Structure formats: structure tokens, C-alpha cells
Structure 1
Amino acid sequence: MYPSAPTPTVVLVHGAFADAAVWIGVIAELRGCGIPVIAPPNPLRGLVSDAAYLASVVSQIDGPVVLVGHSYGGALITVAGEAENVVGLVYVAAFIPYEGESIGELRGRFPDSPLRTYLKERTYPTHLLVDGDLAVEVTIDEAAFPSVFAADVSEDIATVLAAAQRPIAAVAFTEKASAAAWRTKPSWALVAGADRAINPDVQRFGAQRAGAVVLELPDASHAVALSEPKQVAGVIRDAVRATS
């Protein structure tokens, strides 16, 4: 811990099918309270490489860090949170895996969410494959995106999000977490009770297993960072205060 250190820097990690813009309201709330915050891009190419990228970002920040992960970003902060200067973890409608567990295995403990029905596969080239093989990535069907991902966000914004969504590599769901930082770092979790992308029971299970301080918003969609930025920022502020 850093008992006399400056306010921790908050690092916001977005999840699949989105970019860092989902944090726009949360960033405004945190900066309004004088909390330093950054929202780096998430490559969305796989748990191993994405967590390594995030760990690199964290290692170049002076002083303590509170990591915040939305959705798939929760798996990344679970691994990258092992960094020495990470003092707290905040999960927002997120996966919270155990060491040696994949997102697919965690998700498989509970009934599927509606998201699974609307995933669309496409391929992309990668230098890691040989002989012209292609890797698989997934997006959400554009017509279904508003109801599945952002049911409590205005239709205008939801349709823009659908058009601008970023695909995630399918391998992200099968690669296993190499660490579980919540075993040694304090954690907080916001559960989106009306989430149709990640079963809320998956969120509740992970939060309970991690011993997290939990806030549940019964009517919140997966896009809770956009629809309820004050509530999300409030949980993050609690983490910052507790770890300062």
C-alpha cells in the first residue's frame, strides 16, 4: 500500500464490442472530483496478450493504481492487477475469473445470456498462424445490439454503438487467467441486474468469490457505465478512498 502516496490513478479498461468512449461520463465524474484517470485502448485480441498490454500500461504509471474493468475487461484486470502498484480492483458488469479459469468456463457455470444467440463470426489474418490460416472474431448482430448490450441507453446512442462496435477474438473466451489478483487486492463490484450480455448470476458469483464489496443496480443494462455514470463513478471513488 501507499499510506502517504498521492491519489491513485484510475485506469478504466473497456470490454468487448466497445471502446474507451463508454467511460466518457465516468471520466467526467472522476475528474470533477480531482481523481486522475486514463482509459487506454483494449486490443481485444486475447486474454494473454491483452492482459500483458494492460500490465505494461500500469507499469509505466508512477504511484498507486486502481484498475477498473468492464465486461471482458474484468478478466484483464484480474490478471494485470498482480502488478505491485495496483492497490484495488473495481469490476463493472464484469467477468471475474479464478486463476486457471477461462471466461468460457466461468460463463458456463450458469445459463447462457441472450448475447450468445446474436454473436456473428468473421475471420481475420494474424501473424501467429501459418499457411494462410485465419483466426475468428465475433461481433453482436447490429439489429440486436441495442436490446442486448444497451437497453437503458437512448436508441440514438445505442445504434451508433452498434455500428462502431469492436470485435473480440474468439480465443479471448478460451484462454485461461494466469493469476487472480483479487486474492490479494481489495475489490469492488457493480452488478448490472438487467444485463443481457453477461448473466447477472455470473457477475454475482464472481463478486462473491472474490470477496468484493458489491453494489447491484437491478435495472441496469450491460452498458451501465454509459447509463449510470454517477453510480459507477461512486463505486470507483469508494475504492480510491479506501486505498489512498
Structure 2
Amino acid sequence: MTFVLVPGAWHLPSAFDLLRGELDRLGQPSLAVRLSTAGPEPRGGLREDAAAVRAAIEAVDGPVTVLAHSYGGIPVTEGAAGLANVERIIYLAAFVPDVGESMFTLLGLPDPAETDGLFPVNDDPRAQLYGDVPDEIAERAVRQLVVQRIQPWVDRVTQAAWHTVPTTYIVTDNDNSLSSELQERMAKHCDEVHHMPTSHSPFLSRPAELAALMTGKAGV
């Protein structure tokens, strides 16, 4: 089993370094996807991010479990559809859209008039994203945040992998970014639900616990 890890908005693949280290210790290979809409020079929209997810999965010779965090649930829902080697999707405090939905529609927001710009990080990302993360790790994570395009938050999903792929939702109960109430509503699309008493980023606050949960769900 290979774990394909897809980050949320403003995050680079390096956000998963601690989690990947724990997966290594469990003997499980992993890779983290770089989304084109986040970074020093962001480009594209949902289609480009979904294509990156799809390419990463297709590059694996064998079964895959996909972990989608936060916004990453949108391109995973689109990009993992129809791929025979995807055995499970784990939505971690993530958006779970159906066909025709977007991140904005799931949040109950109207589409903005301008979609070609950037969405700023909250004024206090430490509190929003990393509330229970140790100070040194949280400070490093804040320094590594990058700019994020608005376009993929507005783009509608055209196919939904969770209709045919087994799914697990992990609700982060003490989340200051994505409310647990909204997470639980979206989790109704999934086959099973687990809770972690963490902030939005358990891959930084409880990477060993998260890795154990992931491998258990993947049956390895």
C-alpha cells in the first residue's frame, strides 16, 4: 500500500514531513502531492490540481490510499475518480463535494466577482490552523505557508470518487478553521467516521496517532 497525501490550501508537500516519517517507521511508503494553485508562483484551478492528484496516483504501481486534507478534498474527489488502484480515500478535516459543488458552495458562499486573485492566509494562522501544535513546529509551519489562488475554490466538481471508492472521514473536534459541525455534515458522504480531539492539523500535532489510524483503515 502506498499513501498519497494531498495538502490543503496554502500548504506545500513538506507539511506532511512528520507524518511521512511516522509512516516510514511503520514500513509504509508515501508521497505528497504538489498542488499548482498553491506556492510561490501559483497557477491554474481545480482541473490542474485534480490532474496533479491523478498523475501521482497513476504513477504508483500498486494499491493506493489517498489522504486528503482540508481543501485537498476537492481535487482528490475529482482526481481520484475512476482509478482502479485507489482502495480508500481518507478525508481529514476535508471538503467532500458532490458533482456540481465547490468549496464555496459547501461553505454557503456566493461566487466572488473576481476569481483570478489570491486568497490571503488568516491574520493568525497559528490559532486558525495549528492550535494544538508544539510551538517550534507551529512556527516553522507558519513560515512555510504560501499564497493560494481563489479559482480552485470556485470551480465545480465534475465527478466524485467517493461514489465508488470506500471512504473514511476524520473529524478534528477542536478545529478553528473548519468547524466540526460542517465536517460532520460532509462526513455523511463517507462510509465511516472517526474523531480526533485536535486542531486542523493533526499531521503536525499527532502524526504518530494519525499514521496508525491511516494504516489501520488501509488494512496494512
TM-score between the two structures when normalised by the length of structure 1: 0.79
AA aligned to 1:93 is A
Q: For 1:23-42, what per-residue CA distance to the aligned partner results, in whole angstroms no more than 9, with x for missing partners?
A: 12221221112111111212
Residue 31 (structure 2) pairs with residue 50 (structure 1): no
Aligned counterpart, 2:85: 85
Structure 2 spans left out of the alignment, 5+ residues: 38-43
| 1:224 maps to which of 202, 205, 208 | 202
Aligned counterpart, 1:21: 14
AA aligned to 1:52 is A
Structure showing greater Rg? 1
Whole-angstrom distance in 2 between the partners of 1:186 and 1:94: 16
TM-score between the two structures when normalised by the length of structure 2: 0.88
Shift of 1:162: 2.3
Aligned counterpart, 1:114: none
| 1:177 maps to which of 140, 157, 172 | 157
Shift of 1:75: 1.3
Aligned counterpart, 1:99: 99
Query: Any conservation in 2 of the 1:13–1:20 contact (CA below 8 Å)?
Result: yes
Whole-angstrom distance in 2 between the partners of 1:134 and 1:231: 38
The 5-angstrom pairing of residues 126-137 of structure 1 reads 135-137=116-118
Shift of 1:134: 9.2
Aligned counterpart, 1:121: none
* Structure 1 stretches of 4+ moved >6 Å: none
Whole-angstrom distance in 2 between the partners of 1:177 and 1:187: 18
Query: Any conservation in 2 of the 1:17–1:165 contact (CA below 8 Å)?
Result: yes
Residue 3 (structure 2) pairs with residue 10 (structure 1): yes
- Give secondary structure in 1 for the equivalent of 2:104: helix
- Give secondary structure in 2 for the equivalent of 1:90: strand
Shift of 1:79: 1.3
| Identity among equivalent pairs (%) | 28
| 1:140 maps to which of 103, 118, 121 | 121
Shift of 1:204: 1.1
Q: Which moved more, 1:149-158 or 1:170-179?
A: 149-158
Structure 1 spans left out of the alignment, 5+ residues: 1-7, 110-132
Shift of 1:175: 0.5
Whole-angstrom distance in 2 between the partners of 1:23 and 1:160: 13
AA aligned to 2:218 is V
Query: Any conservation in 1 of the 2:162–2:189 contact (CA below 8 Å)?
Result: no
| 1:214 maps to which of 182, 193, 217 | 193
Whole-angstrom distance in 2 between the partners of 1:184 and 1:20: 27
Query: Any conservation in 2 of the 1:139–1:166 contact (CA below 8 Å)?
Result: no
AA aligned to 2:87 is V
Shift of 1:158: 2.4
